Structure 1
Amino acid sequence: MADSEAVGEADSADIRRQAVAAHHTLNLIDGRWRPSESGQTRTNHNPADVTDTVGEFTESGGVDTDHAVDAAAAALPAWRGLGSLRRGEHLAAASALLAGRAEEFVRAITREQGKLLAEARGEVKRARAVLDFTAGQARLLGGVTAPAEEERTFAYTFRRPLGVVGLISPWNFPLAIPMWKVAPALLSGCTAVLKPSPLTPLTAALLAEVFHEAGLPAGVLNLVQGDAAAGEALVAHPEVKGISFTGSLGVGTAIHTGGAARLLRTQLELGGKNAVVVLDDADLDKAVDAVIHGAFGQAGQRCSATSRAVVDVRVRDDFLDRLVARVAKLRVGPGDDPDAQVCPLVSPARVEAALDAVAGARRDGATVLCGGAREERPGLPDGCYVQPTVIRDVPWDSELAQEEVFGPVLAVVDADGFDDAMRIANSVKYGMSGTVFTASQARAFEAVERFEAGMLHVNRPGVGAYAHLPHVGSKASQYGPPECSPEVFDFYTEWHSACISY
């Protein structure tokens, strides 16, 4: 190949990349990238350096949402009629495209959400696992045959897609959580409108682009960027038969009550206040490892984050000595800093919320052992940095021990034995994740039985889940069927039974 030809091809590739990047700031409605009807935009900043503008993304309202829902409704009959095997082929094609663009997703996640590159790579891996698992369910998405009470009668059950669904996703996992909504919705035969968090619009646009390039018919998956106005219109639209939402308890409750009059089906994952219980026979080094990973990984911005360590008083001081010595050395920095161990928070508002929680704990008489302030040092960009914080002497019924912080703030609560530890662990309104460290097999199994939480762990970190296991909480953490796992299809489909005499 001549040098001039190589340069020409490089120029063409650059032009293509620029054209692709231009539509990442837009909505995807009925197979076309387009701005909001109002023409309004929202500026998205890099939380590691707030002077870095990621882009000006379209800000949608009710009209844009209505267009997206109308497109999804028009595409529904043909997509539903395609059958799960053909729909699964589209998911498999999307997985291949995602694999080829994995590092592009990693960089986008880190730049707009803030997490470490290693954490972003873990999220892309998780998203691919969910997509591959869901595609594999295409051959299993059926019903059962059943005995009939009459002669010459064939009885069986089957699923039908729910219809048009709205998928409202948060900023903390801007690829994985949308993926575990989009993939089962599409395989089920639903058509969808995805509304991501306005804090992480770029990753959602890349996800929509991958499915679009995988050959989805126009209108099957639509993307609407924006904030509350777009989400409220999605909940109110009469053609939307279900809303899958991940976010705060207050917003989730509003979605559920807002759609109750028309019997809107909802699937709500609403946060947690998760405890790691450290008993007097625990391996303290392993417990410290798990607590650091759970409390300060992704700066504590996970629904399953370890926000409470409930520690038996007999080992409390030894545990805290080991924990604080390590937490004090954690390096806070940008996600693309190879030496960083704790990433920034996603926004200035989240920084203020974390610092307010620390101030409240001090007012309640707790003691800050390390951290508790903004991270500031020479050379650190102007970003959303908070020091990893460990607070002891936290009353079990105080605000810090009861309410979600969603930041790198760990409350250490004293417990007097196993029964007291389980009482404290279950004292909150949430029930996402529960973890126990013990050498006793009997106490391990008893803790699993007694934890009022959806995802349970013994002698391992209390965060993370498998693509084929239910991602689910209890109490105020969850309403409706789980996400991930085969059980997710109970949200996106309706069961039917048939009896045929012959």
Structure 2
Amino acid sequence: MTEILSDHLLNYIDGAWKASQSARVFRDVNPADVHDVIGEFADSTRDDAVAAVEAAVAGQPGWDRIGPVARGDVLFDVAEVFASRIEEFAVAVSREQGKSLNEARGEAKRALDILRFTAGEGRRLNGSTLPAEQSRVIAMTWRKPIGVVGLITPWNFPLAIPMWKVAPALLSGCAAVLKPSPLTPWTSALLAQAFIDGGVPGGVLNLVQGDREAGEAIVAHPEVRGISFTGSLPVGLAIQQAVAPRLARTQLELGGKNAAIVLADADLDLAADAIVHGAFGQAGQRCSATSRVVVDRSVREDLIERLIQRAGQLRVGRPDDARTGLGPVVNQERLDACLQAIDQAAADGGRIRVGGHRVQDGLPDGYYVAATVISDVAADSELAQEEVFGPVLAVIDADGFDDAMRISNSVKYGMSGTIFTENRAHVFDALDRFEAGMLHVNRPGVGAWPHMPHMGAKLSQYGAPECSPEVWEFYLEWRSACIAFPEQ
């Protein structure tokens, strides 16, 4: 693993691994043990980002010309390479991001599924033939790539999210510049190498490591025709405002403050299991994580008792320990944000029912927070309204179905929504009334499958969904033609 890592400390631009033009580097550390330094990576400048965009501009025409079927064949070759390295990817994700090895293996498998699904779409990027208003005229539509795209990805899914941007970008014929989070550079370098080894030509996919300077340069470049970004609401808004004057496309997946509604007739054991999975899986660091439980008062204490029991049994530990049920958050900033949110919730009248503290005893020097359940949370309080992005769950009381729906929709975000009930009328009413993009009934509320749209509503999403055939509305634009043919 060290030998593989040593080959990937650089940017990948125009078909070659290159150091930053500034020669600056940043350290990548293991959040489970901050004394474990994974490596030093290129801290890229504006000049590095510009070079990557210029390489993509040069590579774009040839990649477009080979057509979607041939591009799909290349991605199938990449999938073969990727499949042979699943465990290598899982170890990198776990060590670099902090999720357990099992969670990291699940992410690697999902990334492979996304890649295979996308490769198969190469034979389905069709247009239409349409009726013509004149005789001896054929009317038709087809799609073309929008051009060079910038792909800016977060640290919480350092493999799956870059995959669900890179794969459709390349299949569509868009050359791409990938700028991953500076917290997870190793995983992105390994991903780029899989695409290289699978046969993607130089210049078609470029990797620029680094932070804000590199990202802003990609966003500002006039040759970049689209930005796909996953991250925080403030950064997403800044990107949208930056590219609006040149009418570049944006695909923005932003924050979430997701509710699980538990009605009086729900199976409380089923609900508690699903909520704990949704709230504390990956230490709560998911845009679709369950961060609010909106529960009917009549079953409130029965549900909380089950949540306390299950959350309390989650063993906090190293990601490489098979007994671990809850790993670290990703860095000191996340740790501080979690502890501050807990303190503020208590000051606002919330009652900490389990957890609520940093965990250090018997563990390396890392960023560990206990699974935390806080009841008596007011629906308009900070904990109920603002994203924490950590293992902190708010329990909010509701007076029946209508009140639960009102509370669920009372936030600015709309990533996912979940309901637990045996009442079919309430199920379909909730599906109609949820102001959220991804909905679930009697199951964990954390995302969907590769062939389904990954999307939010309200301030959680702007632009086309990711994954699924709907993703092409971002990477492709339409053409139409009317072709007259004379009589012989």
Quickly name the TM-score band, shorter chain normalised.
Answer: over 0.9
Q: Counterpart of 1:425?
A: 408
Q: Counterpart of 2:472?
A: 489
- Say yes or no: does 1:475 pair with 2:458: yes
Task: Give the letter for the 2:300 counterpart.
Answer: R
Q: Deviations over 1:219-257 (max 9, x none)?
A: 000000000000000000011000000000000000000
Q: 1:324 aligns with which of 308, 333, 337?
A: 308
Q: Counterpart of 2:297?
A: 313
Q: 1:407 aligns with which of 380, 390, 394?
A: 390
- Say yes or no: does 1:441 pair with 2:424: yes
Partners of 1:20 and 1:340 in 2: how far apart? 27
Partners of 2:413 and 2:378 in 1: how far apart? 17
Deviation at 1:23, TM superposition (A): 2.6
Partners of 1:44 and 1:458 in 2: how far apart? 39
Q: Which blocks of at least 5 consecutive residues in structure 1 are unaligned?
A: 1-16
Q: Counterpart of 1:246?
A: 230
Partners of 1:19 and 1:82 in 2: how far apart? 35
Q: Counterpart of 1:12?
A: none
Task: Give the letter for the 1:230 counterpart.
Answer: A
Q: Are the equivalent residues in 1 in contact too, given 2:56–2:175 (CA < 8 A)?
A: yes
Q: 1:287 aligns with which of 271, 279, 292?
A: 271
Q: Counterpart of 2:104?
A: 120
Q: Are the equivalent residues in 2 in contact too, given 1:374–1:386 (CA < 8 A)?
A: yes
Q: 1:262 aligns with which of 215, 231, 246?
A: 246
Q: 1:144 aligns with which of 111, 128, 134?
A: 128
Deviation at 1:19, TM superposition (A): 5.6
Deviation at 1:22, TM superposition (A): 2.1
Q: Secondary structure at the match of 2:426?
A: helix
Deviation at 1:271, TM superposition (A): 1.6
Partners of 2:2 and 2:415 in 1: how far apart? 42
Q: Secondary structure at the match of 2:239?
A: helix
Deviation at 1:18, TM superposition (A): 6.1
Q: Matched residues, percent identical?
A: 63
Q: Counterpart of 1:27?
A: 11
Task: Give the letter for the 1:448 counterpart.
Answer: L
Task: Give the letter for the 1:284 counterpart.
Answer: L
Q: Are the equivalent residues in 2 in contact too, given 1:23–1:34 (CA < 8 A)?
A: no
Q: 1:63 aligns with which of 41, 47, 56?
A: 47
Q: Counterpart of 2:333?
A: 349
Task: Give the letter for the 2:467 counterpart.
Answer: C
Partners of 1:287 and 1:43 in 2: how far apart? 41
Task: Give the letter for the 1:350 counterpart.
Answer: R
Q: 2:154 aligns with which of 147, 164, 170?
A: 170
Cα distance, 1:125–1:18 mapped onto 2, change above 3 Å: closer
Q: Counterpart of 1:10?
A: none
Deviation at 1:21, TM superposition (A): 2.7
Partners of 2:134 and 2:321 in 1: how far apart? 70
**TM-score, normalising length: structure 2:** 0.99
Partners of 1:413 and 1:497 in 2: how far apart? 52
Partners of 1:404 and 1:149 in 2: how far apart? 54
Partners of 1:276 and 1:101 in 2: how far apart? 36
Q: Secondary structure at the match of 1:177?
A: helix
Q: Counterpart of 1:388?
A: 371
Partners of 1:260 and 1:50 in 2: how far apart? 40
Partners of 1:20 and 1:415 in 2: how far apart? 53
Partners of 2:133 and 2:260 in 1: how far apart? 51
Partners of 1:19 and 1:385 in 2: how far apart? 29
Partners of 2:8 and 2:271 in 1: how far apart? 42
Q: Are the equivalent residues in 1 in contact too, given 2:5–2:186 (CA < 8 A)?
A: no
Cα distance, 1:354–1:18 mapped onto 2, change above 3 Å: closer
Q: Secondary structure at the match of 1:314?
A: helix
**TM-score, normalising length: structure 1:** 0.96
Partners of 2:368 and 2:379 in 1: how far apart? 27
Task: Give the letter for the 2:460 counterpart.
Answer: S
Task: Give the letter for the 2:202 counterpart.
Answer: A
Q: Deviations over 1:346-404 (max 9, x none)?
A: 001100000010011011111101111101212x1110000100000000000100000
Task: Give the letter for the 2:245 counterpart.
Answer: A
Q: Deviations over 1:96-143 (max 9, x none)?
A: 001101100000000000000010010001001100000000000110
Alignment of 1:99-118 (within 5 A): 99-118=83-102
Q: Counterpart of 1:36?
A: 20
Q: Are the equivalent residues in 1 in contact too, given 2:289–2:445 (CA < 8 A)?
A: yes
Q: Deviations over 1:30-53 (max 9, x none)?
A: 010011000000001000000000
Partners of 2:206 and 2:142 in 1: how far apart? 27
Partners of 1:125 and 1:187 in 2: how far apart? 20
Partners of 2:166 and 2:298 in 1: how far apart? 47
Task: Give the letter for the 1:474 counterpart.
Answer: A
- Say yes or no: does 1:271 pair with 2:255: yes
Q: Are the equivalent residues in 2 in contact too, given 1:249–1:476 (CA < 8 A)?
A: yes
Task: Give the letter for the 1:297 counterpart.
Answer: G
